[in-house]
Amino acid sequence: MNEHILNFLQQQTCASMCVVDDQGKPYCFSAFYAFNPDAGLFYFKSSKGSHHAQLMSGHTAIAGTVLPDKLSKILVQGIQFEGVVLDHADPLTQKVSGYYHKKFPLALVLPGELWTVRADHIKMTDSTQGFGKKIIWSRNS
């Protein structure tokens, strides 16, 4: 994965994500995330009874964005991603607690369920590399 994408994702803390319901209606939510650069995985914690958790149990396609924690109106940066929510039994979900709680140790005392999103496609806009610069990463490339 491109180092600009990795550095950006590891410096930020919050992603907005979108899933769909049975009728194809989108539902967006925000979550604090940790990113596993070796596997291209986003980890986040959410209440088991939340609406988005219920939707993710039946619909694994997910898309999202990550903006800088501190926005600059001059130097535009941001990530758009697409991926899938992995089943809790998937072997790639085994390190979720270590990654997530290392970044957010206070989350250990908060109730909730840890989730894993496998990023399959990432597009970064990074004007620090030149106005409107786009950096594309795909798991299949």
pLDDT tens sequence across 82-131: 999 999 999 999 989 999 999 999 999 999 999 999 999 999 999 888 88
Total residue length of the chain: 141
Q: What is the pLDDT of residues 37-76, one digit of tens each?
A: 999 999 999 998 999 999 998 899 999 999 999 887 778 8
What is the distance between the alpha carbons of residues 5 and 133, in angstroms, rounded to a whole number?
12
39: domain CATH number? 2.30.110.10
One-character DSSP codes across 28-61: EEEEEEEEETTTTEEEEEE-TTSHHHHHHHH--E
Residue 103, both tokens: 């970044």
Per the structure, how many domains does the chain have?
Answer: 1
SS3 78: strand
116 exposure class (CB count in 10 Å sphere: 0-12, 13-18, 19+): buried
Q: How far apart are CA 58 and CA 23, in angstroms?
A: 12
Percent of the chain whose pLDDT exceeds 70: 100
Residues of the domain holding 43 = 3-138
- Over 90: is that where the pLDDT of 1 sits? no
Let me know: does 31 contact 17? Beta carbons within 8 Å.
yes
| Contact status, residue 47 vs residue 113, Cβ threshold 8 Å | yes
Residue-level pLDDT at 48: 85
pLDDT at 8: 95
